[in-house]
Amino acid sequence: MKKAIIGKKVGMTQIFDEAGKVIPVTVIEAGPCTVVSKMTKDKEGYDAVQFGYEEVAEKKLTKPEAGHLKKAGVGMVKHLKEFRLADSSKLEVGDTVKADIFAEGDKVDVTGISKGKGYAGVIKRFGQGRTPTSHGGGPVHRHAGSMGSSTDPSRIFPGKKQAGHMGVEQVTVQNLDIVKVDAELNLIAVRGAVPGPKGSIVFIKDTVKVQPVKKGDAGQVTLNPQKQSGRGNPQKASARTR
């Protein structure tokens, strides 16, 4: 990856573009992050940098955490995260990374911890179907149903989809558009929703998705009537016979 930063989810709002269309966005307070540590291929076997985010009182950290930050000669920070950046050699311990490393139009992947839903059944948790509600169904319409064989193997295999704790899992939403960047307030507006509740920590990095290469104006036009770009009104005979 080329760019990455730690941020905090502020909430969702709306932005109007130049054409007056509404764009639903998630506002993220991204940075400023301090470079706390550098990993090199000679010493650790790989190149990476460790970012620190959100200042905190030393008494709220453990002694190993505080000692690690004091050794680096930076302030006390609450959240640490490693990123294997392509140009990590350009960053030094103590440098500051802000939201302006991203620009409007960039594609990013956002990782966070999803909201907790508590104890949930298999229908809500995994989208399983329910039993018929006709005669003789009994009070088991939303139960998990049969668990498998009886005599052999006489047990349930690990990974069986059952009722349990739902949510509070690491989730990554890929290929989101950055709609706006406020460098002064360190705010980034990302099109769409990102995982986690308000105030949760998220990690933003440039997307791993391969972006399609446009082949000029001719590459965007098609005469195939089955494609949306190739038809005006599909009910007209002229659109079907082009």
- Residue 155: per-residue pLDDT: 85
Tell me the torsion sign for CA atoms 107, 113, 118, 123: positive
Cα 130 from Cα 145, distance rounded (Å):
9
Q: What tokens were used for 27?
A: 């506002």
- Residue 170: per-residue pLDDT: 94
Listing DSSP states for the chain in one string gives: ---EEEEEEEEEEEEE-TTS-EEEEEEEEE--EEEEEEE-TTTTSS-EEEEEEEE--GGGS-HHHHHHHHHHT---EEEEEEE--TTGGG--TT-EE-GGGS-TT-EEEEEEEPPEEEEE-HHHHH-------STT--S-TTS----S-SSSS-SPPTT---SEEEE--EEEEEEEEEEEEETTTTEEEEES--SS-TT-EEEEEE--SPPPPP--SGGG----TTSGGG-S-TTSHHHH--
Cα 41 from Cα 32, distance rounded (Å):
26
Q: What tokens were used for 46?
A: 């790989």
Can you give the pTM of this predicted structure?
A: 0.78
9 contacts 64 by C-beta, under 8 angstroms: no
Walk along the chain (242 residues) and give the pLDDT tens digit of each residue. 788 999 999 999 999 988 889 999 999 999 799 999 888 888 888 889 999 998 899 999 999 999 999 888 888 999 999 999 888 888 888 888 898 899 998 999 999 999 999 999 999 999 998 888 888 878 888 888 778 777 888 888 888 899 999 999 999 999 999 999 998 999 999 999 999 999 999 999 998 988 777 666 555 555 565 665 555 565 665 555 55
How many CA atoms lie within 13 Å of 119's alpha carbon, on the beta-carbon side?
A: 1
Cα 219 from Cα 231, distance rounded (Å):
16
Q: Which domains does the chain have, with CATH numbers?
A: 4-116+167-214 (2.40.30.10), 215-242 (no CATH)
CA distances for 103 relative to 30, 98, 179, 183, angstroms: 12, 11, 9, 10
